[in-house]
Amino acid sequence: MSIGNSPEDERPFDDVSDVSDVSDVSDDVSEGDRPSVGRALKQARIAAGLTVDDVTTATRVRIAIVHAIEADNFEPCGGDVYARGHIRTLARAVHLDPAPLITQYDAEHGGRPAPTPAAPLFEAERIRPERRGPNWTAAMVAAIVVVIGFVGFTMVNGGDGDKANVADGDATAGASESTTPKSEKPAPEPEPSDSAIAAVPQDKVIVKVSAPDGRSWISAKDHSGRLLFDGLLAQGDSKTFEDSSKIDLVLGDAGAIDLFVNGKKIEDDWQPGAVERLTYTKGDPQAG
Identify the weakest region by mean pLDDT among 37-46, 108-117, 273-282. Answer: 108-117
Summarize pLDDT for 26-49 with one digit per residue, the tens: 444 445 578 999 999 999 999 999
pTM score of the predicted model: 0.32
- Classified as helix, coil or strand, 152 is helix
Summarize pLDDT for 55-83 with one digit per residue, the tens: 999 999 999 999 999 999 999 998 999 99
pLDDT at 196 over 70: no
pLDDT at 93 over 50: yes
pLDDT band at 84 (very low <50, low <70, confident <90, very high): very high
Mean residue pLDDT across the chain: 74
Q: How far is CA 195 from CA 6, 142, 147, 198, in A?
A: 59, 9, 12, 9
Which pLDDT does position 185 carry in this prediction? Answer: 58
Summarize pLDDT for 258-270 with one digit per residue, the tens: 888 888 888 877 7
Which pLDDT does position 46 carry in this prediction? Answer: 95
Identify the weakest region by mean pLDDT among 67-76, 97-106, 187-196. Answer: 187-196
pLDDT band at 88 (very low <50, low <70, confident <90, very high): very high
pLDDT band at 121 (very low <50, low <70, confident <90, very high): very low
Which pLDDT does position 197 carry in this prediction? Answer: 37
CB 69, CB 77: distance < 8 Å: yes
CB 105, CB 37: distance < 8 Å: yes
CB 196, CB 143: distance < 8 Å: yes
How far is residue 265's CA from residue 287's CA, in Å, rounded to a whole number? 9
Other C-beta atoms lying within 10 Å of the C-beta of residue 270:
17
Summarize pLDDT for 240-250 with one digit per residue, the tens: 999 988 999 89
Looking at the chain, the number of H-run helices and the number of E-run strands are 9, 8
Burial letters 198-234, b for 16+ CB under 10 A, else e: eebeeeebbbbbbbeebbbbbbbbbbeeeebeeebbe
